[in-house]
Amino acid sequence: MVNAIRRTGMVLMLALASVSTMLAQDSTATKPRYDTWWLPEANSTVAGPIDDLFYLILWITTAVFLIVFGALIAFIIKYRYREDRRAVYTHGNNRLEVAWTVIPALILVFLAIMSQSVWSDIKMDAPGADTSVVIDLRPRQFQWDIRYAGADGKFETPDDISTTNQMHVPINKAVLLNMTAQDVIHSFFVPEFRMKQDAVPGMVTRYWFTATKAGQYEIACAELCGLGHYRMRGFLTVHTQEDFDAWYAAEMAKKAAQLNPPAAAAPTAPTDTAATAAGDTTAAAASGAAGAGSAAGADTTAAVDTAATSR
């Protein structure tokens, strides 16, 4: 018995030591984002209210746990076997049974009311397309196909900007996702935003969020979607508004260069300025040397930028 206690003590000491080492490592600046034993940072507008609900439920269930197991242990000790003790037969206690039915019911109603406002914040008021960044999210086995409208502001047109596994959004601005899976159900999950939403084949699910801290985040697929599920990983970069605009402009320029290659006569160029600029590009390309390629690309960029601003 004494040995058992001593052994248990040793185990506890070891456990404490390893926990304290973990905590000590935790405080260093270079830790990986998920190297915490508790929740990751809360970095979206809904993350705070969701965490508040989480903690409310956690404390209620902790209290219930302590009461129930405290009573259980107390009764085990109090009513343990004794030589001269006889069992007592009872039909139950109506007042007690009503109480332990009504009190949990009231707690559940209370939690439902509390959850409702958070739920409507997350799910009811979609931001307008004019005040938000709209992104088409089309996951498939095993990657995230991501699309932005491009220079014309419309989807399903040749100048759409598409990326794979790389989502870019501005900080403090609503982002509206139109999600459709291309094959099986996937689920878009960003732990720091406390957001998780299924994407289903054959239907468009609208989902939105506002990031509150710049940085790099990971997108995980939270739906077991096949053998490659484990590597279905994307990256979400939250930029400052200026950085995001710069990224978007650069992507639009890249796209324009693809759509109007230097050699082509640029039949889609809508304005005179663009046409002139495109003419320059052709000249640059005609000048021949391999090094001229990048210069030509830059000129095309200029052409499209002018075209975009003149519209």
Q: For binding to Cu ion (CB under 5 A), which residues are involved? A: 186, 221, 225, 232
In the complex, least distance from residue 146 CB atom to Cu ion, rounded to whole angstroms: 14
Say which residue the tokens 């219930």 belong to.
64
CA atoms 182, 183, 184, 186: torsion sign: negative
Question: CA–CA separation, 306 vs 302, rounded Å?
Answer: 6
Q: For the chain, give the number of residues.
A: 311
Is 219 or 225 the residue whose CB approaches Cu ion more closely? 225
> Is the four-CA dihedral 111, 114, 117, 118 of positive or negative sign?
negative
- Closest approach, Cβ 197 to Cu ion, in A, equals 12
User: Tokens in use for 272?
Assistant: 């005179």
User: One-letter amino acid identity for 218?
Assistant: E
Q: How far apart are CA 91 and CA 89, in angstroms?
A: 7
As a whole number of angstroms, the distance between CA 188 and CA 144 comes to 9
Name the residue nearer to Cu ion (CB basis): 199 or 266.
199
Q: Which is nearer to Cu ion, 16 or 224 (CB)?
A: 224
> Least distance in Å: CB of 138 to Cu ion?
12
Based on CB atoms, which residue is closest to Cu ion, 225 or 274? 225
**Residue closer to Cu ion, measured from CB, 140 or 173:** 140
Alpha carbon distance 194, 288 (integer Å):
54
- CB of 235 vs Cu ion, minimal distance in Å: 15
Cβ nearer to Cu ion, comparing 138 with 255: 138
Residue 165 — φ and ψ, nearest 5°? 65, 10
3-class state of residue 137 by DSSP:
strand
- Minimum Å distance from CB 221 to Cu ion? 3
Return the biggest CA–CA distance within the chain: 110
Q: How far is the CB of 186 from Cu ion (least distance, A)?
A: 3
